[in-house]
Amino acid sequence: MRTSRGIAEDASGFRNFLRMDHDMFREMFYRVGPRIEKDTFWKKALEPGVRQAITLHYLAMRDSYRMLQCGFRKAHNTISKIIPKTCKAIIEEYLEEVLSCPTTPEQQREVAALYSKRWSFHHTVGIIDECMWP
């Protein structure tokens, strides 16, 4: 990982690469890192920060595993194991905090009012994937 000074100097590059600012990356690292840390006797395991960066870059850019292999200098079959495990760890860590489903009619009305006010999506209580592809 870079020093704080290096990140501060290239904050836009960091954000462009991972679609996330460094503070959010660090917060996620502290929360998700212990879940993806590996302990092995055979060889030095890939650090949690690298695992997280590979996964976030994959999610942000939708590169193939072979493209990530070139960029991160890790074998594509290793990357193919890292990404699903890291995604699962992120989901487990943030599930209750980020993805909560309204269960009562009152909660559903509150969520619908929020979607209506913020994004002009009326009568909406949830969105699965807000990405729009041309």
Q: What is the pLDDT of residues 65-121, one digit of tens each?
A: 888 888 888 888 888 899 999 999 998 998 878 767 778 888 888 888 888 888 777
Do 121 and 68 share a structural domain?
A: no
Do 65 and 31 share a structural domain?
A: yes
Do 125 and 74 share a structural domain?
A: no
Are the C-beta atoms of residues 57 and 18 closer than 8 Å to each other?
yes
Number of residues assigned to the chain: 134
Answer yes or no: pTM beyond 0.75: no
Do 93 and 28 share a structural domain?
A: yes
Tell me how many domains the chain contains.
Answer: 2
Do 22 and 86 share a structural domain?
A: yes
Do 122 and 81 share a structural domain?
A: no
Q: What is the rounded CA–CA span in Å between residue 68 and residue 93?
A: 25
Percent helix / strand / coil, the chain, rounded to 5: 65, 0, 35
Domain region containing 119: 101-134
Which position has the higher pLDDT, 105 or 134? Answer: 105
Per-residue tokens: 62: 């939708």
Do 89 and 108 share a structural domain?
A: no
